[in-house]
């Protein structure tokens, strides 16, 4: 039995003389004496849980949790932590991808303070758009998403800035070797408000110019993010928030052969939203925009592929007794994609699509005898795009049963749909990928998901165990089966090369966490398969692009002293599927390859060890400084990004592999106040 010393200091703010004057037992106060208790603060020396697994499947992470875990360059990026959880595939180096239970990146829903973030990943996948200083909490659902949420067929991730300290200014500044971020919140007491601002910038090539050199290719890359928020609390239960997020990525793609032309890529996120909360009633309005820039040229062959997706959305949630009603609507504009180098008017207006989506949902939630919880929801979606109209009902049933206080069993079924589609023309999520609206030729993606599992808490050792089995039936999953070079032709529309497949994803996940004590950490393992069948690729199932049958993540943190902690994170995951070359032959004095069937081979397993140490300088006030050092890929494992074959007179036929440069050390300084 772990003994915990719990010290509770209760302090009263705005003390009252009445209490001081009367006898100390408040329970004997006369009924006509009113005590006004304005505020209570409770402090404890027990570590606040910063990683919570709820019985409904929602995982909550605090920014303190991400700061305690090793992340790339000590950036404390929260999505890097999410990627170590079960159900989320390990991301290869340079891949701005997010695969949940075998899904594609475009199947997920990303939100920040109620606003949709269309693409929350910065290029190359090292960082997300969620400034860890600005966003204090992340919630994540890999499954069992209830009907009140906007549509998604995979995971749901929301970052919440949680401006709630109305007493004094507070914030954080973190300076690192390739990335820095900051956030400051300032109370405006006369109007009971908090104004917040956050900023983040990367400068990858300044200190590590060789990180992004691969064979003949050199990349120069950077990004910046800006967050602004204003929250006004009229009463403790009534608040109005305005939020703003803007981010920009830019990359130059240069062949080290000085005679070859460059490419220039980039994208921008812009989200603006307002949220009114009155108790549990919530009204949200938001604009979300995502803009791609993609330019590539070689030997006077030029590709210029701008694209964008804009969305205006409105949602309303209101609980009524055991029911909750929800309604939301979204209008989307997708520019489509066309090589504007070859068009006469430099625009893609003839590829644009507009769509409208309306959803209504009803959720019933009831717990019986404190043991059996049932959440039954129905969501009906109406979608319109040009002449295409469709109504999609979605039924979801989530149940959990408390076998004991520490053991609960859950089972769930849900039907999911999404109406906007991401066309991925590149691996790694480069800006040649673009969003479009579903229509008759590219219908909405749907999934039917079944989940069963068990949650166990072992109080003696403060360990939480979660095991979940899942099976999803997927329809209309899309994959791009063409080539980026086809866009050299002005008439080419990449949508003509999107093939649709049906398939399934299934597996079992295991999560063990310990969030208290000197030794903390988690072990996460997923065994999962994801298969799709495309008519264009034959009769057999092929592995989905993000399938990793085995995915293991182990993170340990050792709190050596109050001020010093050490962390290590080890990742082992099956390699991603790829299409291997079987034969090579000469045509036109070039090596041409004949390939095995699509995605029928697998890269070697991905392995990586990251280590970090953080020292927090002792302080007697609320300000603290800390310094952290980290080593990314401490074992210098050469994780293979892809294979290719070359032929030259000097070297003959060579099998080559592309790997990211190995060990990356970093140091960062953080100041919190």
How many residues touch other proteins (CB under 8 A)? 76
State the minimum distance, in angstroms, from the CB of residue 489 to other proteins.
5
Under rule CB under 8 A, residue 403 binds other proteins: no
Residue 207: its H or E element: helix 204-207
Under rule CB under 8 A, residue 663 binds other proteins: no
Q: Of residues 77, 375, 425, 439, which one binds other proteins by CB under 8 A?
A: 425
Nearer to other proteins, 170 or 548 (CB): 548
Report how far Cα 97 is from the mean position of its chain's Cα atoms.
9
Nearer to other proteins, 109 or 603 (CB): 603
State the minimum distance, in angstroms, from the CB of residue 297 to other proteins.
11
Q: Of residues 259, 320, 369, 391, which one binds other proteins by CB under 8 A?
A: 259
Under rule CB under 8 A, residue 456 binds other proteins: yes
Of 227-256, binders to other proteins (CB under 8 A) are 256
Mark residues 466-485: x for contact with other proteins by CB under 8 A, - for none: -x---------------xxx
Under rule CB under 8 A, residue 554 binds other proteins: no
| Residue 113: HSE in the Cβ half-sphere, 13 Å Cα cutoff | 30
Under rule CB under 8 A, residue 391 binds other proteins: no
Nearer to other proteins, 14 or 649 (CB): 649
Under rule CB under 8 A, residue 653 binds other proteins: yes
Q: Of residues 197, 283, 465, 635, which one binds other proteins by CB under 8 A?
A: 465
Under rule CB under 8 A, residue 541 binds other proteins: no
- What is the Cα Rg of the chain in Å? 26
Task: Calculate the alpha carbon distances from 639 to 94, 402, 575, 635, 636 in Å.
Answer: 11, 43, 9, 11, 9
Of 356-375, binders to other proteins (CB under 8 A) are none
| Residue of 296, 8, 248 lying closest to 127 (CA atoms) | 248
| Residue of 298, 217, 200 lying closest to 251 (CA atoms) | 217
Q: Of residues 23, 38, 210, 258, which one binds other proteins by CB under 8 A?
A: 258
Nearer to other proteins, 562 or 594 (CB): 594
Of 169-228, binders to other proteins (CB under 8 A) are 214-217
Looking up tokens 């209830």 gives: 146
Nearer to other proteins, 416 or 534 (CB): 534
Burial of 441 from C-beta contacts in 10 A (0-12 / 13-18 / 19+): exposed
Of 83-102, binders to other proteins (CB under 8 A) are 94
Under rule CB under 8 A, residue 430 binds other proteins: yes
Per CB under 8 A, the segment of 104-112, 152-160, 274-282, 299-307 that binds other proteins is 299-307
CA-CA distance, 358 to 562, in Å (whole number)? 52
**Residues linked to residue 262 through DSSP beta bridges, in sequence order:** none
CA-CA distance, 142 to 117, in Å (whole number)? 17
The two three-digit tokens of residue 202, written as one number: 């990367």
Of 576-615, binders to other proteins (CB under 8 A) are 578-598, 600-602
State the minimum distance, in angstroms, from the CB of residue 403 to other proteins.
11
How many C-beta atoms surround the C-beta of residue 579 within 10 A? 16
DSSP 553-608: EEEEEEE-SSSEEEEEEEEEEPPPEE--EEEEEEETTEEEEEEPSTT-EEPPPEEE
Q: Of residues 20, 28, 257, 345, which one binds other proteins by CB under 8 A?
A: 257
Where do the DSSP E strands lie in 386-433?
388-402, 407-418, 420-423
Under rule CB under 8 A, residue 506 binds other proteins: no
| Residue of 109, 3, 137, 173 lying closest to 447 (CA atoms) | 109
């Amino acid at each position: 039995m772990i003994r915990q010393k719990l010290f509770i200091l209760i302090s009263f703010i705005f003390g009252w003389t009445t209490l001081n004057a009367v006898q100390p037992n408040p329970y004997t106060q006369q009924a006509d004496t009113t005590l006004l208790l304005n505020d209570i603060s409770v402090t404890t020396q027990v570590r606040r849980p910063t990683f919570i697994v709820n019985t409904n499947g929602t995982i909550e992470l605090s920014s303190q949790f991400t700061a305690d875990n090793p992340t790339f360059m000590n950036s404390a990026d929260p999505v890097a932590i999410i990627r170590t959880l079960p159900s989320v595939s390990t991301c290869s180096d340079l891949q701005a991808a997010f695969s949940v239970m075998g899904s594609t990146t475009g199947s997920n829903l990303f939100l920040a303070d109620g606003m949709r973030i269309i693409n929350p990943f910065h290029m190359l996948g090292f960082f997300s758009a969620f400034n860890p200083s600005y966003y204090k909490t992340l919630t994540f659902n890999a499954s069992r998403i209830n009907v009140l949420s906007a549509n998604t067929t995979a995971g749901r991730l929301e970052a919440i800035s949680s401006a709630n300290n109305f007493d004094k200014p507070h914030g954080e500044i973190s300076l690192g070797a390739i990335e820095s971020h900051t956030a400051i919140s300032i109370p405006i007491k006369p109007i009971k408000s908090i104004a917040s601002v956050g900023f983040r910038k990367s400068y990858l090539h300044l200190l590590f110019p060789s990180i992004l050199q691969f064979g003949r290719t050199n990349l120069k890359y950077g990004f910046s993010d800006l967050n602004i928020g204003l929250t006004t609390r009229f009463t403790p239960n009534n608040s109005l928030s305005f939020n703003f997020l803007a981010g920009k990525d830019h990359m130059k793609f240069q062949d080290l052969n000085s005679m070859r032309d460059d490419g220039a890529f980039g994208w921008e996120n812009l989200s603006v939203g307002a949220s009114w909360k009155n108790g549990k009633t919530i009204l949200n309005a938001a604009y979300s925009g995502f803009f791609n820039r993609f330019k590539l040229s070689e030997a006077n062959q030029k590709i210029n592929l701008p694209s964008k997706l804009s969305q205006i959305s409105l949602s309303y949630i209101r609980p009524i007794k055991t029911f909750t009603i929800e309604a939301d609507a979204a209008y989307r504009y997708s520019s489509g994609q066309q090589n504007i180098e070859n068009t006469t008017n430099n625009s893609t207006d003839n590829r644009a699509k507009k769509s409208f989506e309306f959803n209504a949902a009803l959720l019933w939630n009831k717990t019986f005898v404190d043991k059996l919880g049932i959440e039954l929801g129905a969501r009906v979606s109406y979608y319109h795009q040009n002449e295409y109209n469709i109504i999609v009902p979605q039924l979801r049933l989530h149940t959990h049963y408390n076998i004991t206080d520490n053991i609960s069993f859950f089972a769930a079924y849900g039907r999911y749909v999404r109406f906007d589609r991401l066309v991925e023309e590149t691996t790694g999520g480069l800006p040649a990928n673009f969003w479009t609206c579903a229509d008759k030729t590219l219908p909405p993606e749907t999934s039917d998901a079944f989940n069963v599992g068990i949650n166990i808490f072992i109080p003696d050792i403060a360990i939480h165990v979660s095991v979940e089995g899942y099976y999803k039936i997927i329809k209309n999953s899309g994959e791009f089966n063409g080539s980026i070079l086809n866009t050299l032709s002005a008439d080419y529309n990449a949508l003509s090369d999107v093939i649709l497949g049906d398939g399934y994803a299934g597996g079992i996940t295991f999560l063990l966490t310990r969030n208290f004590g000197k030794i903390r950490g988690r072990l996460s393992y997923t065994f999962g398969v994801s298969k799709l069948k495309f008519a264009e690729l034959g009769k057999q199932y092929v592995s989905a692009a993000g399938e990793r049958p085995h995915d293991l993540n182990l993170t340990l943190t050792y709190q050596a002293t109050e001020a010093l902690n050490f962390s290590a994170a080890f990742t082992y995951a099956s390699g991603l599927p790829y299409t291997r070359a079987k034969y090579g032959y000469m045509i036109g004095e070039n090596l041409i390859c004949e390939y095995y069937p699509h995605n029928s081979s697998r890269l070697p397993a991905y392995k990586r060890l990251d280590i970090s140490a953080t020292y927090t300088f002792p302080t007697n006030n609320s300000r603290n400084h800390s310094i952290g050092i980290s080593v990314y890929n401490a074992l210098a494992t050469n994780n293979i990004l892809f294979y290719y074959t070359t032929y030259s007179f000097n070297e003959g036929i060579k099998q080559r592999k592309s790997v990211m440069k190995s060990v990356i050390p970093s140091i960062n300084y953080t100041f919190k106040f």
